[in-house]
Amino acid sequence: MTGAMPGVAPMGVPPGAFLVVATLLFAIGLAGVLLKRNALSIFLSIELMMNAVNLLFLTYARMHGDLSGQMIVFFVIAVAAAEAAVGLAIFVALFRTHRTLDVDKAALLKW
């Protein structure tokens, strides 16, 4: 796997466009986190933010011609799966005790 950078063919799309899409997705996810009241919707927005960052990693991996960025995305996706399992279990437990998923009503640890 040596040689004259076999992988870095010129990109048909300027990389800046990918970066802008990723940042916009991140901002949309942040808006969701700030505006939503349902814990599940907030969690979904966090997933969107993680995917925006994944897109950023992939773009930089492509710009560098380096696979390490894709490797990081692989690990992020796997950890996101673990996080989703635990998070959703917490929501189920929360719903059992509070009969709600409204984050304003489950504010025991807030202050």
Q: How far is the CB of 81 from another protein (least distance, A)?
A: 6
Q: How far is the CB of 74 from another protein (least distance, A)?
A: 7
Smaller CB distance to another protein: residue 96 or 110? Answer: 96
Q: How far is the CB of 111 from another protein (least distance, A)?
A: 17
Smaller CB distance to another protein: residue 6 or 109? Answer: 6
In 17-30, which positions are buried (b, 16+ CB within 10 angstroms) versus exposed (e)?
Answer: ebeeebeebbeebe
Smaller CB distance to another protein: residue 81 or 109? Answer: 81
